[in-house]
Structure formats: structure tokens, C-alpha cells
Amino acid sequence: MNFVSIIMGSKSDYEIMKNCAETLEQFNVQYEMIISSAHRSPERTKTYVKEAEEKGAIVFIAAAGMAAHLAGALASATTKPVIGVPMKGGAMDGMDAMLSTVQMPSGMPVATVALGKAGAINAAYLAIQILAITDKELAIKLKEDRIVKSKAVEVDSKTIEVLI
């Protein structure tokens, strides 16, 4: 069974990351979600990555704030795609997490998405796009989703349009 793994560095990340899970659910994509910290529980993190790969994890999504080392820790433990979601908070309100997530050394790539809720949702979409490379049904669902979003913009526009 192929699935997406969502790992949060702290329980406080859940309120944002549940948006990631809900997006995956909309596309019927299986996922696991756990809390594991690169700093507070490094052995748990490393062990989980190995076990998740053995069970069929295809993509890892890491959500962390402040030093945001989690995505890098995952990238060092797997050759599967890792998507980092920097979380707001701390002294720099997420800027530190964003910089930590995006600045990985060469050979340890982490795809970095936006801060917070938009990032959580986009991480799910990026994971779905990766899975859709080999899943035609999922690829069709993604295209249909884009059409729905496009039509919604047109509907919204019609409620306020002023054209000459």
C-alpha cells in the first residue's frame, strides 16, 4: 500500500497540519500522521522513517517550527521525496523555520512550501502530484480539481465584475 507520511515536530502543529490530512482525504490518498521531533526524539524519527518506507511510504511531509530541523532529518534518512512545511511561531514568527527548511545542503533536497495553512495544503497537493506520476486515476482527479478551482474564480468574478 502506497501512502504519504505526515510528521509533525510538535502537537501544536496539528491544528495547521490537519488541513494537509483533509486535503489528502479529499483525493482518497492514504496517509499516516505522527509527532516526532528531530531534536527531542531523533531515534524515534529515524526508526519511524525506516518502518514507514517498509510499509510503503512514498512521500514524507515534515512540519516544524523554529529551527525546523525535521525536514532535513527526514531527508538524511530517506531517498524518498521530502516536503517541508515551515510553521509560524517562535521569536521570528516562522521566518526562522522557513529559512531552515529551504536551506538544505546539496544532495539532501527538501521541497519547501509556504508557511502555515497554505503550506500544509500545498504539501498535500505536491505529494498528490508526485503520486499521480504513476497513478492515472489520481492524475485525472487533480485535473478535475483544477477545473473546479478555475470555474470558482469565474463565478466569484461575476459577482463583482465591472467591465467596459
Grid-cell match 521570528, residue found: 92
The three-class DSSP label of residue 105 is coil
SS (H, E, C) 133-162: CCCHHHHHHHHHHHHHHHHHHHHHHHCCCC
From the annotation, which residues make up the binding site?
A: 10, 13, 40
From the annotation, which residues make up the binding site for substrate?
A: 10, 13, 40
Grid-cell match 525506516, residue found: 50
Measured CA to CA in angstroms, residue 118 lies from 47, 85, 112, 115 at distances of 29, 9, 12, 7
C-alpha cell at 6: 505526515
Q: Judge contact between 71 and 101, C-beta under 8 A.
A: yes
* Helices within 27-61 (DSSP H only): 42-55
Question: In angstroms, rounded to a whole number, what is the distance separating the alpha carbons of residues 119 and 151?
Answer: 23
